[in-house]
Amino acid sequence: AQRVTQPEKLLSVFKGAPVELKCNYSYSGSPELFWYVQYSRQRLQLLLRHISRESIKGFTADLNKGETSFHLKKPFAQEEDSAMYYCALSAALNNAGNMLTFGGGTRLMVKP
């Protein structure tokens, strides 16, 4: 069975400070990992996925299979980054679907 762990429930940093939101996973297959973000009063939305190897809003995440981690990083936090962040792993379902297994989430607060 797959599992995603986000060890920090809350991360508080000052504006301009570096940010790292931790995510560890366990999965017997080849993982596909995502970060989702939920801003206040908004719906859950995809931030980035590891296969895209892209930087979105200054955030990056690298899949480390050896450490089974997919930490989210940003060199300089902005106040508008304050939100709830969820790490998620995609596992194939029968019949071509796929389900997301989410971590418990980390609330990022960026103070002015």
Partner 1 sequence: DTGVSQDPRHKITKRGQNVTFRCDPISEHNRLYWYRQTLGQGPEFLTYFQNEAQLEKSRLLSDRFSAERPKGSFSTLEIQRTEQGDSAMYLCASSSGGNKKYFGPGTRLTVT
> What are the residues binding partner 1 (CB under 8 A)?
4, 6, 9, 32, 34, 43-46, 49, 86, 88, 90, 93-105
The nearest distance, CB 4 to partner 1, in angstroms, is: 8
Least distance in angstroms from the C-beta of 112 to partner 1: 26
The residue among 4 and 110 lying less far from partner 1, judged by its C-beta, is 4
Smaller CB separation from partner 1, 17 or 46: 46
What is the Cα 41 distance to its own chain's centre? 19
Q: Which is nearer to partner 1, 17 or 92 (CB)?
A: 92
Two structure tokens written together for 44: 């859950």
- The DSSP code sequence of 18-83 is -EEE--EEE-SS--EEEEEEE-TTS--EEEEEGGGT--BTTBEE--BTTTTB--EEESS--GGG-E
Determine contact, residues 35/87, Cβ cutoff 8 Å: yes
The CA distance from 67 to 3, in Å, is 14
- Pick between residue 95 and residue 112 the one whose CB is nearest to partner 1: 95
**Shortest Cβ 87–partner 1 spacing (Å):** 8
Shortest distance in whole angstroms from residue 86 CB to partner 1:
5
